[in-house]
Every structure is written in structure tokens, then in C-alpha cells.
Structure 1
């Protein structure tokens, strides 16, 4: 469309709008229909005021319904006025079609059609979670439905197509941009719903490992969102073949500038494929101890016992030493070191220690993983032992189970009269009749000093 044709199209549309307004203000059945529509709208509003308390009481009594059904009920109650208006409009329109000429109920039929369209659009728009995107889709569909009902689609489309920018052989019009935006929003919503459905189906499949579930879910997400973006760009009219060389050059530049990001992405794929870690595993990486919460494309989410969530890059799990406490199984052995006095019977000490450990709740007490206690050495002040026991739930924490076992040992040793010694030093003077000079005095209580008679 030439530049001179744009003002002409605008004036034509404005003339049609003025004609519609003039017809609406001219006395006759058009005014009567507008008055009936306003009366039906007021009646719908009054019905909402009268029935809202009853609907609210009925909705509160549906507490046992599933969540999705309750969400639908909330959306229905929010649009109860529009529902009343649609029902009244269609009832009036059908009655007038039988009682009078069809032309005398045309505007009422248009209002009823618009009400149904707005109602359907309002429900479907709830599928779009992003608020800004949802508003864009809602208003776009409302405008389109209104134009369809008023038979103005062709005129408006011709005007929007005339507002264009020609770049070589490409004709970029405002109509194409709007179509691409609406199509992109719809495709992105469908891609999100498809990803959620695929992810849910994969999680319910017990034959697929958790890491492969995450990998396949990410692959489906990338494919669906990539197709949505590709179709949206094609809807504008761009020829993607011309961008092949440019995209290759940009890819090389991005590869050098985003080496860490690419490394984390590749490391994430390797982690998902070799299944070295998976959601729910208990791991130790450096000073971080916790369980895997989620596997991302760039990082792994690790939640510790104190509630902190660490986002650790995937590359660290490839290049660093990682302790996976539950890689092949969830059984973990813990060692505790303690000592008792030399006057205590070692056989009795071992028996009491094992029995006390078995009384702790999370400790496995039977089979090959029963607690054992061994002497590991004779120390300066005590006989040294190592107590070994197994647990099957490392996600419950390691420090707390060690503390509970130590408390059980303390109570058991105290009840059995077994002592837990600590280092002591004695200062003895072998010849008490001789005076002790300042040079012979010790500097602290931790030295064992003896005086021999042959030194004097």
C-alpha cells in the first residue's frame, strides 16, 4: 500500500465508525436493541448481587473436590455476571427471533456472541501463567472476536497490512508482527503445556532412571520451545536461510565468550547420561553436605541440613571429587572413636558399646550391618576403640546420629561403671626431705617431674 492510501484507509474506517454511531443514535429498533442490551446487563449485575452469597456458601462446602476443580469453580464465580448476561442475551435473542423480524434482534445476537467469545477467552487465557503475556493474549483475542462479530476483520486487516516496512524482498507489516506475537504466545503456551505433560509422564514411568527422566524432559523442552520460536519468526516473514553464515559467526563468538556456560551445559548433559548423581542422592562436595534437590542445565541444586540451597555449577561435579553417599545403595557406615580406662575389661566395654548402639533408632542392628567394636590401640591414657555402625537414611543427617550414639555410649558406660579417661599429669618429688629450689620447680601442671637422690 502506498503512503497516499494509508490516510484514505483511515478515513474510510473512521467513516464506518461514525456510520455505526449514527445508526445507534437514530430512533428505531437499533436504539431499542441497545436499550435491551443495557437492561440485560443491569439485570445480570443484580442477579450477581442476589445470588453471590449462596454461590459462596455452596463453593465453601466443596472442600473435598480436587484442586483443579476448585480452581475452575473460582474462575466461574469470578465471571458469574458475564455468564448471567450471556444466558439472558441468548434467551432474549432466541425469543425475539420467533416473535419478530430477525433484523430487530441482530445487535442482541452480536452481544450474545461477543459474551460467549469473551467468556471462552477468559477461561483459556488462564493457561498462560505469565501475567503480561496473558494480558496480551486476552486483549488480542478480545479485539479479534469483536472485529469478527462486527464483520470488520477484512477492513482492519487491510489497514494493518498497509502499515508496512519493505526491506528488499521482505514485506514487514504491522499485521504480520501482530500475527507473529499472537502465534508466538499461543505456541509458547502449548510448548509449556506439552513440556509439563511430557515431564509428568516421564516421572510416572518407573522404568526410566531419575537422571534420564530429567535429561529427556530437558530435551523435550528444548525441542518444543525451539519449534515455537522458529514458527514465530517464520510467521513474520524472515527467511532464515540468509542468516546461516551470520549465525555461524555469532556462534563462534559466543563460544569463546561463554566458555564456562557451555562447559556447564555439556557437563550437565554428561551428568544426566552417566547417572553419577540423581535427584535425592546425598552428596559431599568440599565442605558442602546435602542432598540433590534438582538437576538444572547449568547447575545442580543441593539442599543442606540447615535449609540452605547451594547452586553448584555442573563443571564442579565433573572435575572435582564428589562423595555420593547413595550412589549404588543408601547404606552408609559411620565410625566413632572413643577410649576407656586400663582398669576396665575390654570385653565388657565392647559388649556394652554394641548393645548401647543398637538402642539408637536409626542404627541397623541385624545381619551383616550389625554394629561392631574393635580395639585399635593402647594410648597414653586409655585403651582406644573404634565403633562401626550402619544407617540406611543418610538424608536424615549424619551429625545427629553420631550425637545420639555418643549419648547412648555415655549413659551405658555410666551405668556399667566404665570410665572415659582424659590426659593427666602428676608432679612428684621423690626425696621430700630436700628443699626444692626455684630452678627445680615445674612451669605447669602438665609435666611429670621426679627428683632422684643421686642428683644432689
Structure 2
């Protein structure tokens, strides 16, 4: 098969070389040379217009405040191809005039240039819908190459050449031509799937009746369904036999299953987390030494942002198998405890009342669940108390609210002459000689 492909490649190359020689000889004709000169002149004029009007358009774009992001991205993309847009706007009216008032042969090359420029511009605009940059570039260059071959009437030779290079496994034949078709079709289907997924996700997130965890689950399910359907529909569209691929993928899956146990475990754990709603975006959790709120739920990990701005990516499996403290699982109420002591000479009834009023004066302390203060013991030098109060915004921090309550206690005790004892020690200096008894 390899020898046949080489022979076929040589035959096609010789044929293309003969056509190239014929084209170069045709350039010696005056009107063909004139058309090339006209195209070069129009491109130069488009370059001048781009240099003159490009900065004006850029300044106009900067003044468009409040426009949607997609519209601004479209304007930026068109501004980058302003030279090509001017060339298309200049060459097509000239082609129409020449086709109307002259013979077709005198506008043949200009028509090819115009069709190529318009096709390249349309492909650049359409492929911008593809989100993945690598896939977008691949589809764009493939489409540019195929459109160029179509306009130059070389598609049959290119298709024969690509179809000649192929390999077979079982009853499945895979050629370069089939791969090119699959990439283009799957790329277009992926772009459509991405557009539908983004639109659907926005609608799901706007629905207040769906819980945050179910929103994430629905969005992930839609993405898997749409992208999976796009992949298999694309393969079926170009004629790939999925039976052979099913056997091959089954064998590969068995081999990868042993090496990707952790990955699969994290994926399954992610689905379980979404289904049982144990945690959801916005919850405040503690896992070991990590304390923060959940930023997003991923397929493999959970993003947790702490108070110091660090973002931890915790594998889903750790949240299933480890002990997690969810401060806002069933509600947002969080109770905090602080300990303090006062001197034995201070009335404990008065101390408890003052402590409760001091805690109530702090902004984030809830009045619907009022603070309480209890004696917890009689220490060596103080009466020990515990002050308990509730908040409902743990994302605002715990250390700062404790500090504010301590400051309120300090001010209240100072205003009411309540002392906070501290241990006192007496140090005695002994001389070199023992004192007489």
C-alpha cells in the first residue's frame, strides 16, 4: 500500500507541475499581467486605508463603554482584519464592473483573488466561535486550505492524494482525507455544542429554584452530553466505523483503568458530591488546616479560597473520605466561643450582663440569637467565663469577629471598673551566706 501511495503522489505532483507551468505561461499574456497588477494595487490601497482609518476605528472602539463583551470581541477581531476587509470592499465592485463591460477572461484572475479574500474573511469570522484556541487555529487553517483548493479547482487531486495515504486495522480503513474531514466536522460541531452549552448554562444559573449544587450538576451533564454527541456524530458523519473503535477503546480503557484509578475516583466522587449536596458553591468549610469558602466545583477537584487570598484545589476524593466541617451546610448560622476571666472582687452577675451587652454592640453578632455568658470555673486568680454568640456570615472571617468582641469586652470592663487579673510572682534574692535563724 505504501508503494501505491508513493506512485500516486508522484503522478499528482507531475500533474500539478504541468498546471503550474501552464499558469506561469499564461501570465505572459498582457491582460493576465494587468489583473495581477490591479490586485497588487488594490491591496496596496487597502494597506493605506488601514493605516489611515485603523487608529480612528480603534479610538471609536475605546469609547464604546457598556457594550456586551461578545460585541467588543467581534469588533476587535474585525479590526485586526481591517486590511482584508478593505481589500474585499475594493476588489468586488471592480470585478462586477469588469464582468459587465469586458470579456470574462479579462477578469478571471481578479475573480479568483476576490473569492479567495472573501472566503478567508468569512472563515476567520466563523471560526471565532470555537472557544479552544488550538482547535480554532486547526479548523481555520484547514478551512483556508480547502477553500483555496476549491477555488483553484484542485480539490479532486488533493482528495485523491490524502485518501491514498491510509492504514487499516481490522475492517476499518483510516486515511488522511478521513482525518481531515473528521477534524473539520467535529470542530464545527464542537463550536455549536459550546454555544448551546454556554447559553443553557446561563439560563440554568439564572433559575433561583435550582440549588447551586444541582446547577453545577446540570451544567456538567449538559456539557458531557453535548460534547460527547458532537464527537460521535462527527465520526459517523464522515463515515468512521465505530464498531472497530469500540473494540479498540475497550482495550485501551482496561489498560488506562489501572493507571488512572485516582482520576476516576475523583470523577466519581465529584458526581457523588453534586448528588448528595453535602457541599455547594459558597459554603464555608474546614478540611484539616484549610479553612475557606468553596469557589467552584470541578470534575476532578474543588476550588477553596481562604481568607488570605490563597486558592486550594482539593481533590474530590479527599472531601468524600476525609472529615469535613461544613459551617453552612443546613444554614448560615455559626456559633463562636471566647473565654475570659475577671477578679474575684467583681460581681459575677454584673460581669455576665456587661459581657452580653458588649457582644451585642458588635455589628456582625446576631440579635435574633442573643449572646449568652456562663461561669465555667474558679481559677487560681480569676473567675473564668465563656461568652457564646452567633453570626451568619462566616465568609467574613472568624478571627476578626472574635477580635472585635474582645475589644468590646475590654472597653466595657474599663468603663465599669472590672479588672482582668493576671498571675503575679514574687522573686526573692538570697545572699551568699545563710541568714541566722
- Same fold per superposition (TM over 0.5): yes
State whether residues 362 and 405 of structure 2, in contact with CA within 8 Å, keep that contact through their aligned partners in structure 1.
yes
- Distance in structure 2 (CA, Å) of the matches to 1:316 and 1:159: 53
SS at match of 1:180: helix
State whether residues 342 and 420 of structure 2, in contact with CA within 8 Å, keep that contact through their aligned partners in structure 1.
yes
Alignment-derived partner of residue 297 in structure 2 = 295
Alignment-derived partner of residue 214 in structure 1 = 216
- How far off is 1:199 after superposition? 2.2
Q: Which runs of 5+ in 1 are unaligned?
A: 429-436, 441-455
- Distance in structure 2 (CA, Å) of the matches to 1:257 and 1:84: 55
SS at match of 1:126: helix
Alignment-derived partner of residue 13 in structure 1 = 16
State whether residues 300 and 311 of structure 1, in contact with CA within 8 Å, keep that contact through their aligned partners in structure 2.
yes
SS at match of 1:333: strand
Alignment-derived partner of residue 149 in structure 1 = 151
Label 1:439 to 1:161 Cα distance change in 2 as closer, same or farther (>3 A): farther
Alignment-derived partner of residue 450 in structure 1 = none
- How far off is 1:116 after superposition? 1.4
Alignment-derived partner of residue 181 in structure 2 = 179
- Distance in structure 2 (CA, Å) of the matches to 1:249 and 1:125: 35
Deviations 1:291-339 (A, max 9, x none): 1111122222211111222222222222222211111111111111111
State whether residues 170 and 237 of structure 1, in contact with CA within 8 Å, keep that contact through their aligned partners in structure 2.
no
- How far off is 1:232 after superposition? 4.9
Q: Which runs of 5+ in 2 are unaligned?
A: none
Give the 5 Å matches for 1:29-44: 29-44=31-46
TM-score by structure 1 length? Answer: 0.87
- How far off is 1:189 after superposition? 3.1
Matched, 1:306 2:308: yes
Equivalent residue pairs, number: 432
Alignment-derived partner of residue 422 in structure 2 = 422
Give the 5 Å matches for 1:346-361: 346-361=348-363
Alignment-derived partner of residue 378 in structure 2 = 378
Label 1:420 to 1:166 Cα distance change in 2 as closer, same or farther (>3 A): closer
SS at match of 1:301: strand
Alignment-derived partner of residue 203 in structure 1 = 205
SS at match of 1:373: strand
SS at match of 2:229: helix
Alignment-derived partner of residue 447 in structure 1 = none
State whether residues 6 and 163 of structure 1, in contact with CA within 8 Å, keep that contact through their aligned partners in structure 2.
no
- How far off is 1:205 after superposition? 1.6
- How far off is 1:236 after superposition? 6.8
Alignment-derived partner of residue 227 in structure 2 = 225
- How far off is 1:263 after superposition? 2.3
State whether residues 290 and 305 of structure 1, in contact with CA within 8 Å, keep that contact through their aligned partners in structure 2.
yes
TM-score by structure 2 length? Answer: 0.90
- Distance in structure 2 (CA, Å) of the matches to 1:46 and 1:212: 55
- How far off is 1:427 after superposition? 9.0
Alignment-derived partner of residue 433 in structure 1 = none
Alignment-derived partner of residue 452 in structure 1 = none
Alignment-derived partner of residue 451 in structure 1 = none
Alignment-derived partner of residue 46 in structure 1 = 48
Label 1:254 to 1:70 Cα distance change in 2 as closer, same or farther (>3 A): closer
- How far off is 1:286 after superposition? 1.8
- How far off is 1:83 after superposition? 1.1
Alignment-derived partner of residue 70 in structure 2 = 68
SS at match of 1:328: coil
Label 1:264 to 1:165 Cα distance change in 2 as closer, same or farther (>3 A): closer
- Distance in structure 1 (CA, Å) of the matches to 2:240 and 2:57: 52
Alignment-derived partner of residue 453 in structure 1 = none
